[in-house]
Amino acid sequence: MAMLSSHHLAACLQHCLKRGAGAVIQKSAVHKSMLLTCCLEHHLPSRTLVTVYATLGHSDITGGSYPSGQPVRGMAGHSKWHNIKHIKASKDSEKQRISSKIAQRIKVVVREGGSADPKYNFLLARLLEDAKAKDVPKTTIDNALKGLAKNKDKGSVVYVQAKGIGNCLLMVETFTEKSQRTRQDVQCVMKKFGGTIGDSGLAQHSFQHKGCVYVPTENTEKKLTLDDAMDVAIEAGAEEVEETTDDDGNKVMRFFSDPKELHNVKKNLQQLDLLVSEARLEYVPTMFTKLTEEQLQLASQMFDRLEELDDVIRVYDNIEAPV
Domain boundaries, given as residue ranges, for the chain: 6-72, 207-285
Instruction: Give the gyration radius of the chain's Cα atoms.
Output: 20
Q: Is the pLDDT of residue 87 over 60?
A: no
Domain 207-285 architecture:
2-Layer Sandwich (3.30)
Averaged pLDDT, 281-285: 94
8 and 234 in contact (C-beta within 8 Å)? yes
Averaged pLDDT, 77-106: 66
User: What's residue 3's pLDDT?
Assistant: 35
Mean pLDDT of all residues belonging to the chain: 76
Instruction: Give the C-alpha separation, 29 to 15, whole Å.
Output: 16
Higher pLDDT, 82 or 119: 119
User: What's residue 323's pLDDT?
Assistant: 64
Q: Is the pTM of this model over 0.75?
A: no
Averaged pLDDT, 193-206: 93
Q: What is the pLDDT of residues 258-267, one digit of tens each?
A: 999 998 999 9
Instruction: Give the C-alpha separation, 90 to 70, whole Å.
Output: 31
Q: Which helix (H) or strand (E) holds 261?
A: none
Task: For residue 315, list its beta bridge partners.
Answer: 172
Buried b / exposed e across 84-104, counting CB within 10 Å, b at 16+?
bbbeebbeeeeeeebbbbbbb
Averaged pLDDT, 163-173: 96
Q: What is the pLDDT of residues 200-235, one digit of tens each?
A: 889 999 999 999 999 999 866 668 999 999 999 999
Instruction: Report how far apart, in Å, the C-alpha atoms of 91 and of each of 88, 252, 269 are.
Output: 5, 19, 31
Averaged pLDDT, 283-300: 93
